Structures are given as structure tokens and as C-alpha cells.
Amino acid sequence: MVFMDSFSASLSRQEGVVDSIFSTCLDMLEEPAFAHIQGIGIASGENIRLGGPAIDRLTNVFSITKAVVAMAARHALHQRLFASLDDTVTLDGHTCPPTIGNLLAMKQSWRLEPDMDEIERRAVDPVPSIANALGRSTSTGQYVNAGMHLLMRELHLRTGSARSFVEDEVLLPAGICAYKWEGDATGVPWGHAHLHLSVRDTLRLGMHWLGAEPLVPRSGEPTPPMPPECLPYVDGFWIGNSYLLAAGWGGQCLLMIPATHTVFTALADTGWSRRTNRDTLQDGWRTGRELFHRSLPEAVAWRS
């Protein structure tokens, strides 16, 4: 993405670009398209900016949860709790259980896509419904929520408590103590969504990951570009030319640019209800990623 490359180049040679982007983003929160975004954060090195009406409110980060679960799985691989990426998940009676690697890169095909919203509302063990929809592995990839919950359940079986393992290996090392995580009927936290974090702590998470990346290598090769972001995918992140993106429903965004050690996050109040499966987003709403991208040309040009 040309604006992202322009930002990386500008940031490396100019002071004030981060402040310009931050100010531009704050101004744009007044627009109706971004009115649902309750807070933003940007950090580059030691330059950290936070703003918005509710930067410390716990918010459902939706699919950013996948990146947290994937990072925990990478720690499990590093600690040999999983023998390798070819290790399979535990599914009694299933003739072709998916591998850890396929779940991390979403290279698992599905005969039908499980409706996770419906599965959540049933308040029963979700694994039988998920397993019933499994197909065989694929090299092309298929973005489906259910696979990450299978991975979370496997972490739970291997460690005794997936919640404690993720907390000890991912959240606490990033300085995150306050969070909420909704779970399934068996008590396992949902692996595809429903971790609640603040803007401040989501930014901390990205900053920690950029520092920890060399210590916890990427689990495997990304899936080729696939919807909805039309980018390669692995470990809960969409892989751009110069950035990593974890994105969740309603505009949730955690974007990291390793070359400049820059992290941007935006979290939104979607008003989503499990009971009704509806949100309160207004027509024409836009994502946190779009907020960041739209700020780049103006901020970079202003400092050029």
C-alpha cells in the first residue's frame, strides 16, 4: 500500500509525523463515519499518543482476539506443548482432524461455514457443531471463525487452562491486567472473538509484540491472499508489504509497522448484542484502519 510505504519512509527521516497523524485522526473522529470509534492510540518508539472519549473502557476487540490466541499457540510451540505445526487437534472419532499449522494459517477447508453467532447463542459445547462442518486441509485458505476456537480448546486441553496460559504468556508480559474474556458453555474462552481490552492495552499489546517478535518466530508460511482483506494471513494477522494488521468487526484495528517500530490501534463501540445478533452501527461507518490510512496523505504531505 503506497501510503503505508510513504509513511514508513517519512517517519524514518522526519520528526512530528506521528503527532500529525494523531491530530488528523482525532479531528476525523468528529465525522459521522468514525463516530463509533471510542479511542485511538499510536506509538512509535517512545512517542506514544492516546486520545478519544473512552481509551480505558474495556471493549470487545472481536477478531483481534485471534491474534492473541495465535500468539499463545506460538508460545506453546516454542515450549513444545505442541510437537510441531503438523500436530493435530483432539477430535474424538474424526478421521481427519486439522493440524495446528492449518488452523493458524486458516488452511482448513469446511464443508459448510459454522454460524458461530448461532453456536454461541445455543449455550452448549460448540465443538461437536464445529467438528461436523470440517472438511479437508487446503492450500488456498478459507477465513472461518470456528477454527480459532478449536485452537483455543486445544490450548486448554494441553495446558489445563487456556485462560491462564494466555494470561501468563501473552497478556501479563505486555502489562495487561484488566481484561474480560467471554467463554463457551464449557468455560473455554472463545478463540475467534470476545476478548475485551482497552485502547491503551491494545496499544501495549502491539508494542510488546514488536519487541517479542524475534523471540517467538512466525509459526509457518502465510496463506495466499484471501477475503475479506485480500491479503496473506497467518497467526491472526493479515500480512501487508510493510505492515501487520489484526482487524475485528465494527472497525477494531491493531496495525503494526515493524520497520519503524510503529503501532496504531483504534477500538469502536459497536453496540453488538449476542441475544439479538445486532449492532448499533450507523450506515456509512468506516473502520479504524481506514481512519489511519486516510490520515496518512495529509499528515505526510504536511511534514514534507
Going along the chain from its start, the domains and CATH numbers come out as 2-303 (3.40.710.10)
Q: Is the pLDDT of residue 195 over 60?
A: yes
The helix-helix angle for 64-78 and 199-212 (nearest 10°) equals 30
**In this predicted structure, what is the pLDDT of residue 1?**
47
Looking at 79-197, list the stretches that DSSP marks H as alpha helix, in order from N- to C-terminal side. Answer: 100-105, 116-122, 127-132, 146-159, 162-166
Q: Is the pLDDT of residue 166 over 80?
A: yes
Among the listed residues 81, 80, 84, 119, the one whose alpha carbon sits nearest the alpha carbon of residue 100: 84
- 210 φ/ψ angles, rounded to the nearest 5 degrees: -60, -35
**In this predicted structure, what is the pLDDT of residue 20?**
87
C-alpha distances in angstroms, 39 versus 7, 57, 227, 299?
Answer: 21, 9, 27, 19
- pLDDT, mean of residues 169-188: 96
Top mean pLDDT of 55-69, 106-120, 261-275 is at: 55-69
Q: Is the pLDDT of residue 138 over 80?
A: no
What does the buried/exposed string (b/e) look like for 113-144 if buried means 16 or more CB atoms within 10 Å of the residue's CB? ebebeebbeeeeebbebbbeebeeeeeebbbb
The amino acid that residue 276 corresponds to is T
Which of 7-11, 172-176, 278-282 bottoms out in mean pLDDT, i.e. has the lowest?
7-11
Q: Is the pLDDT of residue 125 over 60?
A: yes
Which of 56-60, 174-178, 229-233, 251-255 bottoms out in mean pLDDT, i.e. has the lowest?
229-233
Confidence of residue 298 (pLDDT cuts 50, 70, 90): low
Residue 197, classed as helix, strand or coil, is strand
Confidence of residue 9 (pLDDT cuts 50, 70, 90): low
Confidence of residue 218 (pLDDT cuts 50, 70, 90): low
Neighbours of 57 (CB within 10 A): 16
Beta strands in the chain (DSSP E): 37-44, 47-51, 59-60, 108-110, 134-137, 180-181, 195-197, 223-226, 231-234, 237-239, 244-248, 252-257, 262-268
pLDDT top residue among 288 and 94: 288
**In this predicted structure, what is the pLDDT of residue 113?**
76
Strands 195-197 and 59-60: antiparallel
Confidence of residue 174 (pLDDT cuts 50, 70, 90): very high
**Cβ-contact 70, 78 below 8 angstroms:** no
Top mean pLDDT of 15-24, 131-140, 237-246 is at: 237-246
The amino acid that residue 51 corresponds to is G
The amino acid that residue 287 corresponds to is T
Q: Which residue has the cell 476525523?
A: 28
Q: Tell me how far apart the alpha carbons of residues 253 and 251 are, in angstroms, rounded to a whole number.
A: 6
Percent of the chain with pLDDT over 70: 88
Q: Is 263 exposed, middle or buried (0-12, 13-18, 19+ CB in 10 A)?
A: buried
Top mean pLDDT of 133-137, 206-210, 270-274, 294-298 is at: 206-210
- pLDDT, mean of residues 230-244: 90
